[in-house]
Structure 1
Amino acid sequence: MTIEQVWAQYRQSLKAFLHTKVASPNDVDDLLQDVLLKTHLAIENLHKPTSVKAWLFQIAHNTVIDYYRKNGIHSNAQQEITWYNEAERNIKKELAQCIKPFIQQLPEQSAYLLEVIELEGKSQKQLADEMGLSYSTLKSQVQKARKELHGVFNACCQYDIDKHGNLIEYHQQATKGKCSPNHMDCTPGVRKKSDDKYAHCSKG
């Protein structure tokens, strides 16, 4: 199952789910794009097509939990979601394998912030205390680091998304398909505009 098929089938239900958990429409759109990015990077690890819904909504669920934690919001969302398979693989560990090479291309400070917060799961408030920074200062630095990460990813692959948020196709940039220090192709399962082939989130 390609990312285009997954996104076409589940985008609306994912967005509806996010709306039930997050009040701000702008935050919902941001989270939806985060889910899309994570799905791109990890879809190769989906070995059972029949489990795609549980897998996809677990990514969305984890994204919401991260959003709550990073914004100091307390919620019972973990207990509220009962319709996904509790035995699903550790999605965060799988995502980290694909995302980390991109993070490692960032400036040292930005890479450190994202590795600690995004990959290790430390809260921004806790890290701010450890670094002797105000929460607002660290939050700004993390937002900047995330923008840099999206820039690195977009330097590898540029995505075309229509006004409704549907994924149309992606453009492989002029990097000969090798977009990270570990020679990891930038995205799995999406049709390239340039040569109609498929890239994979795996080492080449």
Structure 2
Amino acid sequence: MLNHWQTHKDRLRGYIGKRVDSPAAIDDILQEVYLKAHTHLHQLRDNASLNGWLYRIAHNAIMDHHRQRHSHNELPDDLAAPQTDDAEQAHRELAQCLVPLIDELPERYRVPLQLAELQGLSQQQIADHLGLTLSGAKSRVQRGRQQLRQRLTACCDIEVGRGGVLDYHPKDPDCRGC
């Protein structure tokens, strides 16, 4: 087996050298490859795959080396908290609009929607609480969401992006919801 190691030594050193700058690190990684290969030799199922197996070990050792090199600086204690962005502010304001709009829904949809969205109950918990089947609870929550969406879009122009609601503007300043 020693002759196999010697056969691959120069090629592995070249492979590692293309990915690591320090000559001392190249030798350290090469030694680590040989140690790992020796201790895990029992996992090699076919000697014909020795070459690929050694390169996989070398690749992993190189990745470990690069991970260890990156230092992480601690953040200073006096670092100011980030200012709230416009999207977060729009979310908070829009959430305040939802409660009156939910309150306008028929009780059949309002109660399950409040339990799901405002109290955070699962749909199974809603079904148990209201004495409904699971599919009945899901249906009522879904229909409540649809009716809420209709009321919300009738009341406000909503700008939606990748992160959800970005901004909104009431269509009518006298709208009861907003």
Between Structure 1 and Structure 2, whose CA radius of gyration is higher?
2
Q: TM-score, normalised by structure 2?
A: 0.42
Higher helix content, 1 or 2:
2
